[in-house]
Chains A and B, each alone.
Chain A
Amino acid sequence: MKFRRIILMSAVLPVLLLPSNSCAMHISEGILPFSWALFWFCASAPFLALGLRNLARRSEADLASKPLVGMVAAVVFVISCMPVPVPMAGTCSHPCGTGLAAVLLGPALGVVAAAVALLIQALFLSHGGLSTWGANLFSMGVMGSFAGYAVFRGLRLAGLGVVAAAFAAGLVADWATYAGTALIMAAGISGTSPFWPLAGKIALAFVPTQLPLGIVEGAITAGMVSLLRKKRPDLLVRTVLTGIGREQR
Chain B
Amino acid sequence: MINLFRVVLVCALFTCSVAVGALYAADKWPGVDEAVVNRIAREHGREDRPPLIPTAEGDLQLFMFLMAGTVGGFIAGYYWRVLLEGKKKRTDEGSTR
User: How would residues 105 to 135 of chain A score, 1 for a CB under 8 Å from any chain B CB and 0 otherwise?
Assistant: 0000000000000001111111001100000
Residues from chain B with Cβ under 8 Å of A202 in the complex = 36-37, 40
Contact B32 A231 (CB under 8 A): no
A24 to B80 Cα, complex, angstroms: 27
B12 CB to nearest A CB, Å: 9
Answer yes or no: A45 CB below 8 A from chain B CBs.
no
Q: Which of chain A's residues has its CB closest to B85's CB?
A: A67
Contact B82 A20 (CB under 8 A): no
The tally of residues in B whose CB lies under 8 Å from a CB in A reads: 57
Residues from chain A with Cβ under 8 Å of B14 in the complex = 10-11, 13-14
Of A75-83, A146-154, A166-174, the stretch lying at the interface with chain B is A75-83
Residues from chain B with Cβ under 8 Å of A123 in the complex = 52-53
**Which one of A3, A12, A28, A71 has the greatest number of beta carbons of chain B within 10 Å?**
A28
A19 to B34 Cα, complex, angstroms: 15
Answer yes or no: A27 CB below 8 A from chain B CBs.
yes
Q: A18-B21, A124-B68, A129-B51 are in contact. Are A75 and B31 (CB under 8 A)?
A: no
A123 to B34 Cα, complex, angstroms: 19
Contact A75 B76 (CB under 8 A): yes
A27 to B34 Cα, complex, angstroms: 10
A66 CB to nearest B CB, Å: 8
Contact A126 B44 (CB under 8 A): no
Among B22, B54, B79, which residue has its beta carbon within 8 angstroms of that of A67? B79
Which residues 51-93 of A sit at the B interface, judged by CB distance below 8 A?
A: 64, 67-68, 70-71, 74-75, 77-78, 81-83, 85, 90-93
Of A157-165, A189-197, A241-249, the stretch lying at the interface with chain B is A189-197
A93 to B37 Cα, complex, angstroms: 12
A96 CB to nearest B CB, Å: 12
Residues from chain A with Cβ under 8 Å of B17 in the complex = 10-15
Answer yes or no: A206 CB below 8 A from chain B CBs.
yes
Answer yes or no: A145 CB below 8 A from chain B CBs.
no
Q: Which of chain B's residues has its CB closest to A204's CB?
A: B36
Which residues 181-201 of A sit at the B interface, judged by CB distance below 8 A?
A: 181, 185, 188-191, 193, 198, 201
Q: List 9 A-B contacts (CB under 8 A).
A: A10-B11, A24-B32, A26-B33, A31-B38, A78-B69, A81-B68, A83-B31, A90-B28, A231-B84
Binding site for B on A (CB under 8 A): 3, 6-7, 10-15, 18-33, 64, 67-68, 70-71, 74-75, 77-78, 81-83, 85, 90-93, 120-126, 129-130, 181, 185, 188-191, 193, 198, 201-202, 205-206, 209-210, 231-232, 234-235
Given contacts A11-B17, A130-B51, A205-B40, 10 further A-B contacts (CB under 8 A): A13-B14, A21-B31, A22-B56, A26-B33, A28-B48, A74-B73, A78-B72, A125-B68, A126-B61, A202-B37
